[in-house]
Amino acid sequence: TALIILILGLSLGLTLGRRNIKSTFFSRCEKFKEHDCKKLWDLFEKAYVNKDPCNVPMEAYNPLLAEVPFKPQCNKMMFWSKTKDVVHGLTAKRKDCFVTLEDTLLGSVLDDLTWCGKEGSKDTFTAGCPEWSECVNNPVRSFWNRSSAAFADVACGDVTAMLSGSIDTPFNSTSNFASIEVPRFKASRVKKLNVVMVIQKNAISNCNHPSLKNLRQSLDTGITYSCKDVSESRIQECGSKPEIACGACW
Ligand code: C8R
């Protein structure tokens, strides 16, 4: 009996875990009208189900991305590295000024979720999946890599990036921002990159940091660069005062 209870418990746990990501996917997806969430879930699953969770390349998500391509939103697109909470604290309130990948359907549906499949199973797992750096081609990492690339591909006009003054290397070559997004900004579409250095109380770097030289050098010729040190409180103020014009946030 103990064994039967164990097996029942395990399979119930698995079903609930799966229900969980599927129901999260649908409830988040349904907030965006005019989309067939069932079709999107099926395309999403096809990317990783029944596959070795260390062998899901970026391209596995091509059919999903093709179904809901990102629209260019010139002068509003916001990129970030190691500043996710500050950025989303602002963009949640100032959708009139900025859009991040997490404000798009796919980005918001999959934000903060973990998922993977297994060879020989039609299930989606949310536990026991590879960690971010355990293997490059894991389902979560490949999704963010593929979607960041597609989001950066449509960047246009003046683009903003929030980097962190609280870390040693604000522009780190291993980040998605440095390795995937910046190389895709094209001078034919992007006029300017405005870096906002988020300065928190214990800041250790700012716009003078040497890593930003690498950022300037990796920009396509013709894209103007600027960098401004902005306190976290000023960013929050922009979020809490809708009367501040987008261009006057900092
Ligand atoms: N981007 C990357 N990673 C994202 C993401 C996103 O939009 N959304 C989420 N939730 N994540 P980091 P970075 C998760 O190291 O590497 C895009 C991933 O699961 O602070 O420079 C976005 O457009 C991953 O674990 O930043 C942004 O501009 C971490 O967040 C860059 O790429 C990666 O966060 C940020 O990527």
Q: How far is the CA of 45 from the centre of ligand 1 (A)?
A: 21
Least confident span in 16-25, 166-175, 219-228: 16-25
Kindly list the catalytic residues.
74, 156
| 3-class DSSP state of 34 | coil
Task: Report residue 165 as tokens.
Answer: 């003054």
111 lines ligand 1 (CB under 6 A): yes
Task: Report residue 35 as tokens.
Answer: 């989309």
| 3-class DSSP state of 37 | helix
Separation CA 100–CA 155 (nearest Å): 11
107 lines ligand 1 (CB under 6 A): yes
Q: 23-73, pLDDT tens digit by residue? A: 999 999 999 998 999 999 999 999 999 999 999 999 999 999 999 999 999
Q: How far is the CA of 176 from the centre of ligand 1 (A)?
A: 6
Q: How many Cβ atoms are within 10 Å of 29's Cβ, its own excluded? A: 21
Is residue 115 scored above 80 in pLDDT?
yes
Across residues 74-81, what is the average pLDDT? 98
Q: What is the mean pLDDT of the chain?
A: 95
Burial class (CB in 10 A: 0-12, 13-18, 19+), 113: middle
Task: Report residue 190 as tokens.
Answer: 């992007």
| 3-class DSSP state of 247 | helix
Residue 181 DSSP class: I
**Most informative mutation of 65, 73, 84, 184 for ligand 1 (most atoms within 8 A of CB):** 84
User: Which residues have a Cβ under 8 Å from the Cβ of 51 and sit 6 or more positions away?
Assistant: 60, 117, 119
What pLDDT was estimated at residue 100? 98
Task: Report residue 237 as tokens.
Answer: 């103020």
Task: Report residue 93 as tokens.
Answer: 């309130």
Q: Which ipTM value was assigned to this complex?
A: 0.92
Q: How far is the CA of 151 from the centre of ligand 1 (A)?
A: 12
- From the list 13, 21, 215, 7, the residue with the least C-alpha distance to 112 is 21
| 3-class DSSP state of 116 | strand
What pLDDT was estimated at residue 93? 98
**pTM beyond 0.80, yes or no:** yes
Q: Which atom of ligand 1 is nearest to the CA of 83?
A: 20
- Radius of gyration of the CA atoms of the chain, in A: 20
Residue minimizing CA distance to atom 4 of ligand 1: 144
Confidence of residue 2 (pLDDT cuts 50, 70, 90): confident
